């Protein structure tokens, strides 16, 4: 689209008029930040500037499909079409610019949020790696410290909740261990290990047999191998001779 000085002035004037009309109708107010951080009201000048910008943006994007010859804007009929469209663009285009600005702002916020989540994930992963190192070396107090760090970064970290329950059990804090896997199940109801561990911790705590067997049954449903593992697991020693436990864990072809 070819724009001459005359057409540029026409679009600018029309857009400014449209912006002024909308500013009066909606009582909009625009500000700029000057040196020192102080904000200054632009008044009608702000409306005119935004209207001008809206009109220019409108012609830049929609110009090619408009039946307006901007090289002949000095002619009466082309001038009338150009000024009319400019006023409309200045009046209606402000809303479009604001919508575009809002969308851009939302996209920026989303990107910032995604970047922050990635940073948190990397930080949490680092703590989990340290915790696993200490756990594998039977240094449970040290492992617990890093699991706590990971949970501060992400309170719903499944790896941290499961790992913390593991080390708490070995530190004799079985009730706390039970609470960890209980929370994990509330976050991910299909977490097979959480169900199995809750059954184990429940048995060690002497919880009701029905709850223990229900937890174990759910674990077996999700991962059938737990059926045979349970028969050898010392955590279920109190239920070893129980008929219901035997029925649940007996070999099935």
Range of the domain at 90: 5-112
The pLDDT profile of the chain, 253 residues, written as one tens digit per residue, is 555 666 667 666 666 666 666 555 555 555 445 455 555 554 556 566 666 666 666 665 555 556 666 666 566 766 666 666 666 565 665 565 566 666 666 776 776 666 666 666 667 788 899 999 999 999 999 999 999 999 998 999 999 999 999 999 999 999 999 999 999 999 999 999 999 999 999 999 999 999 999 999 999 999 999 999 999 999 999 999 999 999 999 876 5
Strands (E), the chain: 31-33, 39-41
The answer on 136 and 40 residing in a single domain is no
| Ordered DSSP codes for 148-184 | HHHHHH-TT-HHHHHHHHHHHHHTT-HHHHHHHHHHH
Residue ending a domain, among 87, 112, 137, is 112
- Say yes or no: 73 and 144 in one domain: no
129 and 164 housed in the same domain: yes
Co-location of 198 and 220 in the same domain: yes
**Same domain as 25, residue 79:** yes
For residues 87 and 66, membership in a common domain is answered with yes
Range 159-169 burial, b when 16+ CB lie within 10 A, else e: bbbbbbbbbbb
In total, the chain counts a number of residues equal to 253
One domain, residues 65 and 128? no
Residue 121 Rama label (left phi>0; alpha psi -120 to 50; beta) = alpha
Final residue before a domain boundary, out of 112, 133, 166: 112
| Reported pTM | 0.56
């Amino acid at each position: 689209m070819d724009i001459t000085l005359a057409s540029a002035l026409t679009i600018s004037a029309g857009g400014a008029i449209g912006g002024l009309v909308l500013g009066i109708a909606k009582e909009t107010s625009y500000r700029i930040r000057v040196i020192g951080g102080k904000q200054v009201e632009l008044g009608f000048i702000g409306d005119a500037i935004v209207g001008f910008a809206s009109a220019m943006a409108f012609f830049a994007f929609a110009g090619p499909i408009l039946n307006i010859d901007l090289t002949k804007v000095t002619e009466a009929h082309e001038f009338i079409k150009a000024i009319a469209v400019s006023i409309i663009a200045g009046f209606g285009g402000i809303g479009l610019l604001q919508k575009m600005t809002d969308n851009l702002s939302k996209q920026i916020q989303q990107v910032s949020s995604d970047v922050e989540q990635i940073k948190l994930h990397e930080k949490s992963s680092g703590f989990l790696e340290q915790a696993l190192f200490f756990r594998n070396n039977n240094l449970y107090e040290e492992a617990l410290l890093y699991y706590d760090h990971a949970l501060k970064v992400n309170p719903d970290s499944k790896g941290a909740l499961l790992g913390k329950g593991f080390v708490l059990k070995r530190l004799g804090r079985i009730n706390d261990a039970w609470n960890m896997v209980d929370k994990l199940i509330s976050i991910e109801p299909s977490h097979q290990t959480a169900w199995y561990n809750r059954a184990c911790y429940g048995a060690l705590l002497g919880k009701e047999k029905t709850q223990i067997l229900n937890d174990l049954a759910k674990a077996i449903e999700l991962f059938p191998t737990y059926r045979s593992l349970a028969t050898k697991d010392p955590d279920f020693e109190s239920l070893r001779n129980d008929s219901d436990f035997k029925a649940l864990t007996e070999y099935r072809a």
